[in-house]
Amino acid sequence: MSSHSVTLIPGDGIGPEVTGAALSVIEAAGVQIDWEPVEAGAEVVAKYGTPVPDHVLHSIRGNNVALKGPIGTPVGGGFRSANVTMRQALELYASVRPVKNVPGVETRFDGVDLIVVRENTEGLYSGLEHRVAPGIVESLKIVTEAASLRISEYAFSMARREGRHEVCAVHKANIMKLSDGLFLECARKIASRYPDIEYREIIIDNCAMQLVKDPTAFDVLLLENLYGDILSDLCAGLVGGLGVVPGANIGADCALFEAVHGSAPDIAGKRIANPTAIILSAVMMLRHLEEEAAAVKIENAIFATLADPAKRTGDLGGPLGLDDFTQAVVDALA
């Protein structure tokens, strides 16, 4: 059996707890991974002066693949988001979040099966903010043709590869005519090269409303950075919450797999967090590493575990803590 080298970023808050659970499950599934653990996040700022020291980026560039726990970011001041820094430094331009009903997790809707594809490197997350005068702040939304074409191409080629029928570009070009207008222009250009994939456009506020009315009407959503960030959490809520949705950040050279949720400081250290999202992110990672058999085995084990109400974590109304839940998934692998 081949072995893989993967950078491991345990992260902050519940990060070390949930990534630890993912490692146990991967090991139990028989996949050999040489983990290269690196420190990043709020806890290391005092030591290195940054939440993302150079050795973290170096490790990911060397291995090309990373599994990452959530990292906390201070609000309103302090250091720049470690997540944004990593995405930009490694050119992880596509954030991919499959949103699917999880067996046994009851929600308002059945049959949800969509993929959020979010541009990850620019928009309002470019970090270009300045004080123009006392009481006036300017935040720059950067939209480039190159990045918009690249993310559109990713969404359409992924749609084709995964047998999806439609890409829907989400925008506010009625108000932000130039910036979102350019994004749409690029999406249309790429759409014209994929006649087998339907293409439509929807204004972000209407999209939010349609999603909560009938999410089954969507297939692949293509969004710029901020809209993608917000709607991916909304979509997570449609299938059971932040604890059950995986995510990947994909670049030309590197791929970083992480859960959608944050570091959950309110429950950190209590060992009650739900590791489903990071385990499903690890499943995406295993597929990326072409370990399809193990990916299927783990996915089936986690779905079988969740299908039993007595084997769910507290956020899903069940009685189990993190460790018992992880053990139940490991047992289901057998």
* DSSP states along 94-155: EEEEEEEPPTT---S-S--EEEEEEE-S-BGGG--EEEEETTEEEE--B--HHHHHHHHHHH
Site string for ligand NAI, 192-221 (x = CB under 6 A): ------------------------------
| CB-nearer residue toward ligand NAI: 122 or 315 | 315
Quote the CA–CA distance of 218 and 65 in Å, as a whole number.
Answer: 30
> Could you say which of 267, 296, 307, 333 contacts ligand NAI (CB under 6 A)?
267
Interaction between residue 274 and ligand NAI (CB under 6 A): yes
Does 60 help bind ligand NAI (rule: CB under 6 A)?
no
Q: How far is the CB of 240 from ligand NAI (least distance, A)?
A: 11
Min separation Cβ 213 and ligand NAI, Å: 24
- Tell me the closest approach of the beta carbon of residue 131 to ligand NAI, in angstroms: 23
> Of 261, 297, 311, 312, which one interacts with ligand NAI (CB under 6 A)?
261
Using CB under 6 A as the binding rule, whether residue 320 contacts ligand NAI is answered as: no
Which one, 167 or 242, has the nearer CB to ligand NAI?
242
Single out the segment in contact with ligand NAI by CB under 6 A; choices: 2-10, 95-103, 140-148, 257-265.
Answer: 257-265
Give exposure, 18-27, as e/b (b: 16+ Cβ within 10 Å): bbbbbbbbbe
| Distance, CA of 55 to chain centre | 23
Q: How far is the CB of 261 from ligand NAI (least distance, A)?
A: 3
In order of 99, 126, 191, 205, 285, the CA distances from 129 in angstroms are: 32, 9, 33, 25, 34
- Active-site positions? 125, 172, 205, 229, 233
Interface stretch with ligand NAI, choices 23-31, 68-76, 100-108, 131-139 (CB under 6 A): 68-76
Residues 6+ apart with CB under 8 A from 275: 17, 18, 21, 22, 322, 325, 326
Q: What is the C-alpha separation between 129 and 117, in angstroms, rounded?
A: 25
Q: Are 5 and 257 in contact (CB under 8 A)?
A: no
- Give the closest residue to 20 by CA, choosing from 248, 203, 278: 278
Question: Does 110 contact ligand NAI by CB under 6 A?
Answer: no
Residue 264 lies near ligand NAI (rule: CB under 6 A)? yes
Which residues bind to ligand NAI, rule: CB under 6 A? 14, 18, 70-73, 83, 242-243, 258, 261-267, 273-274, 277, 315
